[in-house]
């Protein structure tokens, strides 16, 4: 160590070092508190983590948006487009109401998927427990809209890219059977709202949903 | 020992040795209850026999895994189901998981146009096709596309769904993590059908033990802190349990009884050697009887063994008579000079009484009769010729006989009591409004109420078919029975909507007859026609031109397919499941309709009648079983007449005096009546078991009465006679009295009947025995 210094001086140096370290800790704590008060939002330019993103998304208990969805499939000679509204009510109610070119409502609430065909007047109830593939698919959406990190991780490998003002969340199914059908689901968004959803299937088909108008 | 003794002992050893060897090597013990059933006389009975032996519902095992943590239960359910499937002991196992293999699904998919009930002409014309394509389009642009996309090009009309639908149970249990759960979520539930026959108790017992072991292993390997209870139920489970309970209980009670008897005999004879020798005739009888029955019938049934032991119980009386008369200086041979005629008469009359059982066509009764007859003859012979060789001639028994004559003479003053008792008993039996007989076999079951509740719960949750009712269809060919099933279907569906029953299962729902398959094939259009309809139907829709070529190819192929039948399906999982519902038997084909939740069986019976087919029968297994037992009982009762006649004739020949015959027969008949009245009075309803025990009572009664009525030359001799009968009676009462305290209805029946019978026979024969010669008494 520093020889020749009096014991007193050594104590001084140690104290200063400790104080500096302590001060740094304090400063970062304050900064952290500052962060907390701004709900964990980092100043622009920093990396966004899954935890932060889902926390952000979880803050919105109700969503209502208009969408336009386009389907590209080897079965279709031209892409098929549907328009309608997408509603979400925390924690587990998702409704997709297709308005054009036909009217149909898909409601996920709890354990079942209800399909209502307005033009035909039929109602079909499908138990998600009996169709694990469908369940995983539906949970992907629900969990993202609700900011439910645990459920997401249960069914998907998750990757977050970008920053808060423009982020990309990519889901890849964990289950082998599902991987045989769905390759990935990609959400893009800004802050706490979603701007588009793209589903890529393993056979090359895909669908793209663009949020055209967002209401709260 | 004389030369005669040596010969006797030698013969005895040889016989025992041979018997022992046959027993150990050649005798097969069977426990299958259906072997006791009489040969069928009507086709219904034939079917019943078959159903009891091999019916699918008797082979169902219902399993519940009970615990608090649903995730753990689900995991355990999957692992247990996997073990069950791998063990190859089960025809099928369902727990909610996808039970179909890819091959099975492919098979059903390939034949969908022949199997699907929704195939008709309209479906393949442009209007029908258009509707289908619109639906599929909506599906493909919805979350449902995941479910639909894989097969949509080949099956746009969705026939595969219609094919799979009947395989799904009508009442679907709740699912969690992919496996079935009870509606309250406490239990994961599974269902399995065993390869082993339902009434093959040994196989079922082995299987159930293996299941329990496997479950314990699974549980420990899962290392979960949450405890899981394994609940197993079903008819086979109940039968195994009943047998185990009865075995354990009998074992326990027998040990107690034997201890008591040994102590009592020692108290009576003060000699361990005599006590040991008492069982020699009984054991010899057992060995020889078992070996003989095994040789004559090819096997010996567990029930024959159990009842047979009861009946040979009278054999313990023979050495007791010998030992009671042994005293100062008299060797066994001398004793026998005096008592052998009586004993011999007793043996022969009892054997003749049992011989009536050989006359029946009921295998259970004839085996039993044979067993008892051989047993008694052997016991008697061993007592007569072998025991004397085993007692040293200078043997002096220490015990002195208590003074029994004065009390007995005093008792004889009450000679009016037996007739009075008989009168009262008869009157009671006539006037009593209650039924004398037990009609419902279920009341004899020792299975606890708690287990029956669990069975009911599991059965309801799993929507397992009832074991009781079913409809049986027979015919010359497979197609004939399938067609008849199809004809019954609308009527059954109507009855389901009317709540007469909650559901049914038949092979025809999964495998249509040739006729129906060909009708569907005819409804399919030719490829060129179909393409034309397709073009029209697709116009305006965004599908590519060739999107549904696979569909056209599939329909074209289906038009040329050979129809499916059970032969084509055999070996597949689908075929296995159908095998229990549709099978050939003795040159005919049988199709079963399993029923569930029947509330008004009369309506089913009338529906069957109205269907106007001679070979459709409504079977109520429970009713038929009870009827069968009643038949056994009726048969047994009718034999009573023959038995009594045989006994009467032998007695007449042996006693040469009508009065003596009456003195012997009347107390016995009287005591039987009184015992029946007593049993009825305490609430016991008579069953076959009581009847068999009454046979034992008759045997004992003959023994006591004959001894009480034999001529005795001295007072001392008379005292010894009374003593011997008393010892016989007390040992019987000890053994069967213990049984009477059992919780198990069957054991209690046997115990009460035999113990009461022994006492009452003793009293009645004593009170009506012949008056001792005044002259002889004086000297």
Asked if A187 is an interface residue toward chain B (Cβ–Cβ < 8 A), one would say no
Q: What is the pLDDT of residues A136-189, one digit of tens each?
A: 999 988 999 988 889 899 899 999 999 888 999 999 999 888 898 999 999 999
Q: Which of A68, A76, A124 is the best substitution to test chain B (most B C-beta atoms within 10 A)? A: A76
The reported pLDDT for the residue numbered A29 is 47
Asked if B138 is an interface residue toward chain A (Cβ–Cβ < 8 A), one would say yes
Instruction: Tell whether ipTM is more than 0.90.
Output: no
Q: Give the residue from chain B lying closest to A122, CA to CA.
A: B135
> How far is the alpha carbon of B211 from chain A, nearest alpha carbon, in Å?
27
> How far is the alpha carbon of B459 from chain A, nearest alpha carbon, in Å?
21
The reported pLDDT for the residue numbered B33 is 61
The reported pLDDT for the residue numbered B36 is 66
Is the Cα dihedral B179, B181, B186, B187 positive or negative?
A: negative
As a whole number of angstroms, the distance between CA B66 and CA B374 comes to 52
Question: What mean pLDDT value characterizes chain A?
Answer: 81
Phi, psi dihedrals of residue B643, rounded to the nearest 5°: -60, -45
Question: What mean pLDDT value characterizes chain B?
Answer: 84
**Residue B693, CA distances (Å) to B60, B361, B744 in order:** 35, 21, 16
Q: What is the pLDDT of residues B591-616, one digit of tens each?
A: 999 888 888 888 888 888 888 777 88
pLDDT at A190 over 50: yes
The reported pLDDT for the residue numbered A132 is 81
Could you tell me the pLDDT band of residue A23, with boundaries at 50, 70 and 90? low
pLDDT at A12 over 70: no
Question: Which residues lie below 8 Å from residue B209, measured CB to CB, with a gap of 6+?
Answer: none
Kindly give the interhelix angle for B715-740 and B235-269, rounded to the nearest 10 degrees.
150
As a whole number of angstroms, the distance between CA B238 and CA B246 comes to 12
The reported pLDDT for the residue numbered B167 is 78
In total, chain B counts a number of residues equal to: 779
Peptide bond into A101 cis (omega under 30): yes
As a whole number of angstroms, the distance between CA A63 and CA A146 comes to 10
- Asked whether the whole model's pTM tops 0.95, one would answer no
Asked if B171 is an interface residue toward chain A (Cβ–Cβ < 8 A), one would say no
Q: What is the pLDDT of residues B264-293, one digit of tens each?
A: 888 888 878 888 888 888 888 888 988 888
Asked if B1 is an interface residue toward chain A (Cβ–Cβ < 8 A), one would say no
Above pLDDT 70, what percent of chain B?
A: 92
Torsion of CA B541, B544, B549, B555, to 10 degrees: -10
The runs of H, that is alpha helices, within B36-148 are 43-54, 70-86, 102-110, 112-115, 126-140, 145-148
Question: Which residues lie below 8 Å from residue B634, measured CB to CB, with a gap of 6+?
Answer: none
Torsion of CA B392, B394, B397, B400, to 10 degrees: 150
The reported pLDDT for the residue numbered A117 is 85
Could you tell me the pLDDT band of residue B44, with boundaries at 50, 70 and 90? low
The reported pLDDT for the residue numbered A39 is 41
Instruction: Enter the tokens of residue B675.
Output: 């015992």
Average pLDDT of the segment spanning A100-115 = 89
Q: Give the residue from chain A lying closest to B149, CA to CA.
A: A181
Q: Which residues of B touch A138 (CB under 8 A)?
A: 143
The reported pLDDT for the residue numbered B727 is 87
Cβ-defined contact of B146 to A69 (cutoff 8 Å): no
Q: Which residues of B touch A117 (CB under 8 A)?
A: 138
Q: Give the residue from chain A lying closest to B546, CA to CA.
A: A75
The reported pLDDT for the residue numbered B715 is 78
Could you tell me the pLDDT band of residue A38, with boundaries at 50, 70 and 90? very low
Average pLDDT of the segment spanning B434-446 = 72
| Geometric angle at alpha carbon A22, from A19 and A26, rounded to 5° | 135
Select from A90, A136, A97, A89 the least CA-distant residue to A115.
Answer: A97
Q: Which of A68, A73, A74 is the best substitution to test chain B (most B C-beta atoms within 10 A)? A: A73
Phi, psi dihedrals of residue B596, rounded to the nearest 5°: -135, 135
Q: Which residues of A touch B94 (CB under 8 A)?
A: none
Average pLDDT of the segment spanning B468-473 = 86
pLDDT at B448 over 80: no
Residue B183 near residue B461 (C-beta atoms within 8 A): yes
As a whole number of angstroms, the distance between CA B74 and CA B36 comes to 42
Question: Which residues lie below 8 Å from residue B30, measured CB to CB, with a gap of 6+?
Answer: B299, B300, B301, B302
Asked if B547 is an interface residue toward chain A (Cβ–Cβ < 8 A), one would say yes
The more confident residue out of B580 and B533 is: B533
Q: What is the pLDDT of residues B695-713, one digit of tens each?
A: 888 888 888 888 888 877 7
Across the interface, of A77, A132, A205, the residue whose CB is closest to B178 is: A132
Question: Which residues lie below 8 Å from residue B725, measured CB to CB, with a gap of 6+?
Answer: B703, B704, B707, B708, B762, B765, B766
Select from B602, B534, B667 the least CA-distant residue to B130.
Answer: B534
The runs of H, that is alpha helices, within B541-687 are 549-559, 566-569, 573-579, 601-610, 621-655, 658-681
The reported pLDDT for the residue numbered B585 is 80
Q: Which of B71, B145, B155 is the best substitution to test chain A (most A C-beta atoms within 10 A)? A: B145
Average pLDDT of the segment spanning B755-775 = 80
- What residue ranges in chain A does DSSP mark as E strands? 62-72, 80-89, 93-100, 104-109, 112-117, 122-127, 156-163, 166-173, 182-190, 193-201, 206-215
Q: For chains A and B, what is the number of CB pairs under 8 angstroms?
A: 66
pLDDT at A35 over 60: no
Cβ-defined contact of A129 to B174 (cutoff 8 Å): yes
Q: Which residues of B touch A181 (CB under 8 A)?
A: 146, 149-150
Cβ-defined contact of A201 to B149 (cutoff 8 Å): yes
The reported pLDDT for the residue numbered B776 is 46
Asked if B10 is an interface residue toward chain A (Cβ–Cβ < 8 A), one would say no
The reported pLDDT for the residue numbered B224 is 81
Helix (H) or strand (E) holding B306: helix B302-312
pLDDT at A27 over 80: no
Average pLDDT of the segment spanning A102-126 = 86
Q: Which residues of B touch A76 (CB under 8 A)?
A: 542-544, 547
The more confident residue out of B44 and B470 is: B470
Q: Which of B70, B95, B140, B146 is the best substitution to test chain A (most A C-beta atoms within 10 A)? A: B146
The reported pLDDT for the residue numbered B429 is 83
Question: Which residues lie below 8 Å from residue B83, measured CB to CB, with a gap of 6+?
Answer: B214, B218
Asked if A128 is an interface residue toward chain B (Cβ–Cβ < 8 A), one would say no
The reported pLDDT for the residue numbered B324 is 81
pLDDT at A1 over 70: no
**Residue B63, CA distances (Å) to B58, B201, B212, B235 in order:** 15, 18, 11, 12
Q: Which residues of A touch B149 (CB under 8 A)?
A: 181, 201, 203, 205
Select from B710, B718, B696, B716 the least CA-distant residue to B769.
Answer: B710
pLDDT at B775 over 70: no
Alpha-carbon radius of gyration of chain A = 24
Asked if A96 is an interface residue toward chain B (Cβ–Cβ < 8 A), one would say yes
Q: Give the residue from chain A lying closest to B141, CA to CA.
A: A71
Phi, psi dihedrals of residue B217, rounded to the nearest 5°: -65, -45
Above pLDDT 90, what percent of chain B?
A: 21
Place of tokens 């059954």: B492
Q: Which residues of A touch B169 (CB under 8 A)?
A: none
Asked if A200 is an interface residue toward chain B (Cβ–Cβ < 8 A), one would say no
Place of tokens 């997401």: A152
Could you tell me the pLDDT band of residue A44, with boundaries at 50, 70 and 90? very low
The reported pLDDT for the residue numbered B779 is 44
Q: Which residues of B touch A113 (CB under 8 A)?
A: 143-144
As a whole number of angstroms, the distance between CA A18 and CA B574 comes to 77
Q: Which residues of A touch B146 (CB under 8 A)?
A: 133-134, 137, 181-182
Select from B634, B751, B732, B645 the least CA-distant residue to B689.
Answer: B751
Cβ-defined contact of B147 to A132 (cutoff 8 Å): no
Cβ-defined contact of A129 to B176 (cutoff 8 Å): yes
pLDDT at B364 over 90: no
Across the interface, of B143, B178, B543, the residue whose CB is closest to A113 is: B143
Across the interface, of A69, A77, A127, the residue whose CB is closest to B543 is: A77
Asked if A109 is an interface residue toward chain B (Cβ–Cβ < 8 A), one would say no
Q: What is the pLDDT of residues B200-225, one digit of tens each?
A: 788 899 999 999 999 999 988 888 88
Q: Give the residue from chain B lying closest to A137, CA to CA.
A: B143
Asked if B143 is an interface residue toward chain A (Cβ–Cβ < 8 A), one would say yes
Residue B510 near residue B574 (C-beta atoms within 8 A): yes
pLDDT at B542 over 60: yes
Kindly report which listed range (B21-25, B62-66, B329-333) carries the lowest average pLDDT score. B329-333
Residue B764 near residue B667 (C-beta atoms within 8 A): yes
Select from A155, A163, A154 the least CA-distant residue to A188.
Answer: A163
Question: Which residues lie below 8 Å from residue B93, measured CB to CB, with a gap of 6+?
Answer: B81, B84, B85, B99, B190, B191, B192
Cβ-defined contact of A102 to B150 (cutoff 8 Å): no
Could you tell me the pLDDT band of residue B240, with boundaries at 50, 70 and 90? confident
The reported pLDDT for the residue numbered B396 is 62
**Residue B670, CA distances (Å) to B666, B667, B674 in order:** 6, 5, 6
Neighbours of B311 (CB within 10 A): 24
Q: What is the DSSP letter of B33?
A: G
As a whole number of angstroms, the distance between CA B571 and CA B575 comes to 6
One-letter-per-residue 3-state SS of B343-404: HHHHHHHHHHHHHHHHHCCCHHHHHHHHHHHHHHHHHHHHHHHHHHHHCCCCCCCCCCCCCC
The reported pLDDT for the residue numbered B250 is 75
Q: What is the DSSP letter of B192?
A: E
Peptide bond into A91 cis (omega under 30): yes
Asked if B263 is an interface residue toward chain A (Cβ–Cβ < 8 A), one would say no
Kindly give the interhelix angle for B235-269 and B449-462, rounded to the nearest 10 degrees.
170
Region label for B146, one of left (φ > 0), alpha (ψ between -120 and 50) or beta (otherwise): alpha
Average pLDDT of the segment spanning B153-174 = 83
Q: What is the pLDDT of residues B378-390, one digit of tens each?
A: 999 999 888 888 8
Phi, psi dihedrals of residue A135, rounded to the nearest 5°: -60, -45
As a whole number of angstroms, the distance between CA B584 and CA B369 comes to 36
Instruction: Enter the tokens of residue B222.
Output: 């899962």
Q: Give the residue from chain B lying closest to A206, CA to CA.
A: B141
**Residue B598, CA distances (Å) to B454, B504, B603, B631 in order:** 20, 10, 10, 26
As a whole number of angstroms, the distance between CA B331 and CA B8 comes to 17
Instruction: Enter the tokens of residue B135.
Output: 């639906």
The more confident residue out of A95 and B625 is: A95
> How far is the alpha carbon of B184 from chain A, nearest alpha carbon, in Å?
16
The reported pLDDT for the residue numbered B176 is 79
- DSSP characters over B714-777: SHHHHHHHHHHHHHHHHHHHHHHHHHHT-SSHHHHHHHHHHHHHHHHHHHHHHHTSPPPPHHHH
Average pLDDT of the segment spanning A17-41 = 49
> In sequence order, what are the beta bridge partners of A122?
A117
The more confident residue out of B368 and B303 is: B368
Chain B stretch 172-211, residues whose beta carbon is closer than 8 A to a beta carbon of chain A: 172, 174-176, 178
């Amino acid at each position: 160590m520093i020889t020749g210094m009096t014991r007193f001086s050594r104590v001084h140096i140690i104290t200063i070092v400790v104080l500096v370290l302590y001060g740094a800790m304090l400063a970062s704590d304050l900064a952290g508190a500052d962060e907390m008060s701004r709900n964990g939002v980092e100043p622009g330019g920093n990396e966004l983590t899954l935890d932060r993103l889902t926390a952000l998304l979880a803050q919105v208990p109700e969503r209502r948006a208009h969408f336009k969805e386009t389907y590209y499939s080897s079965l279709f000679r031209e892409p098929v487009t549907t328009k309608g509204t997408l509603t979400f009510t925390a924690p587990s109610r998702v409704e997709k109401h297709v308005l054009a070119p036909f009217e149909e409502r898909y409601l996920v609430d709890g354990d079942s998927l209800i399909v209502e065909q307005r033009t035909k007047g039929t109602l079909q109830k499908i138990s998600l427990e009996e169709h694990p593939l469908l369940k995983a698919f539906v949970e992907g959406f629900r969990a993202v809209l609700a900011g439910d990190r645990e459920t997401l991780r249960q069914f998907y490998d998750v990757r977050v890219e970008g920053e808060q003002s423009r982020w990309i969340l990519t889901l890849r199914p964990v289950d082998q059977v599902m991987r045989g059908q769905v390759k990935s689901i990609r959400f893009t968004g800004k802050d706490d709202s979603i701007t588009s959803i793209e589903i890529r299937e393993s056979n090359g088909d895909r669908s793209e949903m663009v949020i055209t108008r967002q209401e709260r | 020992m004389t030369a005669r003794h040596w010969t006797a002992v030698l013969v005895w050893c040889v016989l025992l040795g041979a018997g022992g060897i046959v027993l150990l090597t050649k005798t097969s013990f069977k426990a299958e209850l259906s072997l006791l059933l009489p040969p069928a006389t009507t086709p219904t009975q034939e079917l019943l026999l078959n159903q009891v032996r091999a019916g699918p519902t008797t082979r169902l095992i219902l399993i519940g895994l009970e615990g608090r943590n649903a995730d753990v239960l689900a995991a355990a359910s999957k692992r247990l189901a996997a073990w069950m499937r791998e063990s190859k002991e089960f025809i099928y196992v369902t727990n909610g998981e996808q039970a179909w293999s890819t091959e099975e699904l492919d098979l059903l998919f390939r034949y969908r146009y022949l199997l699907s009930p929704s195939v008709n002409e309209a479906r393949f014309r442009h209007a029908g096709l258009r509707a289908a394509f619109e639906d599929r389009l909506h599906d493909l642009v919805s979350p449902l596309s995941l479910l639909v996309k894989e097969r949509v090009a080949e099956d746009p009309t969705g026939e595969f769904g219609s094919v799979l639908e009947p395989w799904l149970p009508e009442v679907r249990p709740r699912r969690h993590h992919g496996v079935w759960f009870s509606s309250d979520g406490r239990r994961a539930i599974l269902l399995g059908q065993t390869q082993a026959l339902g009434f093959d108790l040994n196989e079922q017992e082995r299987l159930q033990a293996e299941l329990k072991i496997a479950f314990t292993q699974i549980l420990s390997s899962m290392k979960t802190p949450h405890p899981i209870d394994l609940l197993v139920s079903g008819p086979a489970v109940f039968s195994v349990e009943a047998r185990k309970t009865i075995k354990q209980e009998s074992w326990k009670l027998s040990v107690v009884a034997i201890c008591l008897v040994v102590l009592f005999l020692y108290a009576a004879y003060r000699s361990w050697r005599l006590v040991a020798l008492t069982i020699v005739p009984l054991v010899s009888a057992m060995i020889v009887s078992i070996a003989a029955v095994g040789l004559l019938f090819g096997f010996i049934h567990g029930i024959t063994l159990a009842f047979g032991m009861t009946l040979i119980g009278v054999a313990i009386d023979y050495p007791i008579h010998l030992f009671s008369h042994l005293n100062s200086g008299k060797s066994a041979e001398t004793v026998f000079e005096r008592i052998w005629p009586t004993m011999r008469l007793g043996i022969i009359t009892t054997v003749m009484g049992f011989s009536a059982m050989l006359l029946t066509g009921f295998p259970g009764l004839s085996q039993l009769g044979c067993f008892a007859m051989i047993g008694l003859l052997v016991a008697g012979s061993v007592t007569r010729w072998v025991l004397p060789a085993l007692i040293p001639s200078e043997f002096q028994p220490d015990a002195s006989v208590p003074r029994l004559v004065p009390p007995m003479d005093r008792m004889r003053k009450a000679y009016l009591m037996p007739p009075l008792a008989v009168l009262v008993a008869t009157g009671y039996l006539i006037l009593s409004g209650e039924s004398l007989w037990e009609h419902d076999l279920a009341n004899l079951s020792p299975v606890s109420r708690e287990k029956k509740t669990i069975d009911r719960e599991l059965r309801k949750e799993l929507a397992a078919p009832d074991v009781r009712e079913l409809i049986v269809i027979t015919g010359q060919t497979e197609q004939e029975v399938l067609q008849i099933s199809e004809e019954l279907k609308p009527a059954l569906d109507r009855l389901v909507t009317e709540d007469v029953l909650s559901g049914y299962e038949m092979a025809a729902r999964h495998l249509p007859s040739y006729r129906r398959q060909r009708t569907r094939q005819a409804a399919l259009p030719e490829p060129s026609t179909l393409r034309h309809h397709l073009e029209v139907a697709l116009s305006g829709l965004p599908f590519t031109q060739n999107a549904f070529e696979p569909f056209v190819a599939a329909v074209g192929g289906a038009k040329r397919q050979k129809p499916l039948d059970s032969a084509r399906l055999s070996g597949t999982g689908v075929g296995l499941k159908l095998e229990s519902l549709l099978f050939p038997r003795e040159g005919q084909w049988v199709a079963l309709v399993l029923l569930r939740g029947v509330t008004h069986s009369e309506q089913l019976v009338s529906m069957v009648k109205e269907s106007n087919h001679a070979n459709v029968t409504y079977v109520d297994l429970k009713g038929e079983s009870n009827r069968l037992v009643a038949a056994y009982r009726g048969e047994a009762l009718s034999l009573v007449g023959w038995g009594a006649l045989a006994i009467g004739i032998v007695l007449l020949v042996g006693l040469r005096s009508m009065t003596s015959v009456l003195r012997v027969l009347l107390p016995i008949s009287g005591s039987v009546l009184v015992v029946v009245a007593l049993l009825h009075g305490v609430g016991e309803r008579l069953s076959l078991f009581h009847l068999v025990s009454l046979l034992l009572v008759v045997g004992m009664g003959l023994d006591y009465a004959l001894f009480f009525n034999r001529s005795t030359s001295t007072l001392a001799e008379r005292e010894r006679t009374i003593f011997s009968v008393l010892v016989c009676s007390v040992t019987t009462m000890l053994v069967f009295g213990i049984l009477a305290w059992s919780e198990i209805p069957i054991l209690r029946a046997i115990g009460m009947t035999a113990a009461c019978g022994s006492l009452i026979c003793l009293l009645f024969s004593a009170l009506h025995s012949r008056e001792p010669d005044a002259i002889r008494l004086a000297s």
